[in-house]
Structure 1
Amino acid sequence: MKAQLDILSAGRIYADLILAGLDADPAPGREVYAKQFVLVPGGGAFITGAYAAALGSRTGLYGLLPAPPFDTCIREGIAAAGLVAHVAPAPAGSDPQLTVAITGTHDRSFITRRPGRALPDGPLPAASHLHVGELATALEQPDLIAQARQAGMSVSLDCGWDAAALADPRVPRIVAEVDLFLPNAEEAAQLAMHGHRLSPRHALVVKRAAEGATAQVDNQDYSVTAPQVSVVDATGAGDAFNAGFVTAWLSGANTQDCLAAGVACGAKAVTRIGGATDLGRLDLRAEPPAKTHDKLH
């Protein structure tokens, strides 16, 4: 019997408070002003799930909602994104799970409050593929990937910046259990600094922001460069990339086309405020093409 969902995107669900259009980069003892503010659902699981849904995949979101008063607007955002909600309320008395994202003149920074566990109790909802939004969730719930495998799911895993998670000695074993591992360049460098040898089952994909992305598959290296776009807010660009790459991979596309799809989604994400607001239906054929390079050695 066909699984109910194409993709189940699992991980922490945040209320993202995004300040953009700053007149200067923040500095201690100095006040700067933002031209724009939005409050939207956030977290890698939500953003990847929203882009996958916009690309036409039947996608579910699996996680715990932020605590009140943020839960209502986050539920509305999940529904607006076209996601099937497999979510549970935060435990009574929890602090709100939220991220303040500050987009400066050169880059963005984040301040996050992450209370409690990432996922609800109970069995995983049925799906063909599990995407885990951050390495910390996989470390926190070490049986998660095994559950997905037992249910016949393929698995992808993003990294997410978490100093303790990046240093955890269990990382190589967890990465070896997933089909796709998708860190960004800074995270990959930090993992290498800790001596982690990363060998996912199918592909190690490294997101390189404006430089595009690379992938290693069967000891072959592939690369695409990113199109030039006007950056408004880089929040969630890597998570959007995940959706493009994963949906293309699940459709049977080759590595170059998977990278190109990922880069197209990432390029789309940086042109808008918030990780995945008002996406509608995405047609990657209408996006600026990425430039590909075959099997770079």
Structure 2
Amino acid sequence: MSRVICAGHVNWDVTLRVDALPEPDGEAIVESRVGAGGGSAANVASGLVGLDLSTALLGSVGDDEYGHAAVAELASKGVDCRHVVSVDHGPTTVKYIVVDAAGEVFVLGSPGVNEAFDASDLPETALAEVDHLHLTSQSPTTAAALARLANDVGTTVSFDPGRRIGDRGYSEALRLVDYVFLNDREAATALGAAAGSGDRADQDPSRNGSNGGSVGDALDETTLVLKHGPNGAEVRDGDERHVHPGYPVDAVDTTGAGDAFAAGFIAARLDGKSYERALAVANACGALTAAEPGARTQLSWRRLDELVEH
């Protein structure tokens, strides 16, 4: 069985469902409040386990109630949490996720220790024993160090840098990975206005902070996996372009849909599937997650098959 290590954020999410996202100086009615484990790396790890891939997690939490609950939840799903570091110098990161009736998401984050882990917290032999490393939004130094270690032992790497791709200095890490996942906003930041048109373009430095064109340059030799939400997704591999239109669902909560997408894509590619099939699986995972509340829908091949058939 293929094995994956996911590295990055392990959070505790407090999800507030509201009737509408308020305007400035406005007010919304909180219809429900739910706490559960979150964080991109943890979400992807949970999704991969549901798709029958043995998966380990590298991250960090505080030695507190939320940290213990987040790790216990993941372990109960079958995620190997032995490399999740518990630290006593700060709290587990908590994200407050506001979701409106249309499934649109607004996120508020509190400071925490979800980047307290380091590449050295992973034993040197661990990456040589797995088939794939998936990186998420984390310290640029740690991301680059992990990618280099994976390259040294021939382990493939994917990276979902998240919404801060334009200002976190990820260029070195981006040059070392095989796949980069970007949504439309992130692609516009990294690649410029042409990101959605099928042509690569470097971003004007004045629109991309100090990283500027360096992010676009770092992506030149990387396979891009672009997530277009309800409009499907595409892979850009050199001059080749592969597209899948996605699946029509009524969005309830888009939190974690991109993480589920990444889990589906990785699982399909590790199973030797084509880009077209990988995109179909990934879109199905994202659709199932968007159609249900919470960041972690229980993924399974049975549920994916049912969605595709209908």
Mapped pair 1:167 → 2:167 = yes
* CA shift in 2, pair 1:119/1:248, >3 Å: same
Q: Distance in 1 between matches of 2:37 and 2:2?
A: 21
Instruction: Identify which of 159, 163, 166 aligns with 1:157.
Output: 159
The residue that corresponds to 1:119 in the other structure is: 117
Q: Does 2:4 correspond to 1:7?
A: yes
Measured against aligned partners, the alpha-carbon deviations of 1:17-62 in whole angstroms (never above 9, x if no partner) come to: 1112x11212333331222322111111011111111011011111
Query: CA-to-partner distance for each residue in 1:164-196, whole Å, 9 max, x for gaps?
Result: x4235551x422211111111110101123322
The one-letter amino acid paired with 1:6 is R
| Residues 1:45 and 2:48 aligned together | no
- Matched residue, 1:74: 70
What does residue range 10-49 of structure 1 map to in structure 2 within 5 Å?
10-20=7-17, 22-49=18-45
Q: How does 1:260-279 map to 2 (within 5 A)?
A: 260-277=280-297, 279=298
Deviations 1:61-82 (A, max 9, x none): 1111244120221122112322
Query: What residue ranges of structure 1 are gaps of 5+ in the alignment?
Result: 291-297
Q: Distance in 2 between matches of 1:80 and 1:191?
A: 37
Aligned counterpart, 2:107:
110
- In the alignment, residue 49 of structure 2 is paired with which amino acid? A
Change (3 A) 1:88 1:202: closer
Paired with 1:200 and 1:40, the residues of 2 have a C-alpha distance of: 38
Over aligned residue pairs, what C-alpha RMSD do you find?
A: 2.3
Identity of aligned residues (%): 24
Please say if residues 12 and 119 of structure 1, whose CA atoms lie closer than 8 Å, have aligned partners that are also in contact. no
Amino acid at match of 2:76: A
Contact 2:140 2:170 survives alignment (8 Å): no
Q: Are residue 221 (structure 1) and residue 219 (structure 2) matched?
A: no
Given candidates 119, 133, 136, the residue that maps to 2:136 is 133
1:280: how far off? 6.1
Distance 1:80 1:169, change over 3 A: closer
Structure with the larger helix share: 2
> CA–CA distance in 2 between the matches of 1:231 and 1:170?
31
Unaligned residue ranges in structure 2 (runs of 5+): 192-202, 204-211
Report the CA distance shift for 1:111/1:23 in structure 2 as closer, same or farther (over 3 A). same
Deviations 1:90-146 (A, max 9, x none): 422303311111112442111112434342543343422100122x43444431111
Distance (Å, rounded) in 2 between the aligned partners of 1:24 and 1:110: 14
- 2:57 counterpart (56, 61, 77): 61
Aligned with 1:167: secondary structure?
A: coil
Secondary structure, aligned partner of 1:65: strand
Q: Which amino acid aligns with 1:146?
A: R
In structure 2, the CA distance between the partners of 1:177 and 1:167, relative to structure 1 (3 Å rule), is: same
- Structure 1 residues 236 and 200, CA gap change in structure 2 (3 angstroms): farther
Change beyond 3 A, Cα 1:209–1:139: farther
Looking at both structures, which has the greater relative contact order when contacts are Cα pairs under 8 Å and sequence separation is at least 6?
A: 1
- 1:100 equivalent to 2:96? Answer yes
1:152 deviation in Å? 3.0
What amino acid does structure 1 have at the position aligned with 2:135? V
The aligned counterpart of 1:295 is none
Alpha carbons of 1:81 and 1:201: their partners in 2 closer, same or farther (altered >3 Å)?
farther
CA distance in 2, matches of 1:27, 1:236: 24
Residues 65 and 87, structure 1, Cα contact 8 Å, conserved in 2 = no
Q: 2:227 aligns with which of 178, 203, 207?
A: 207
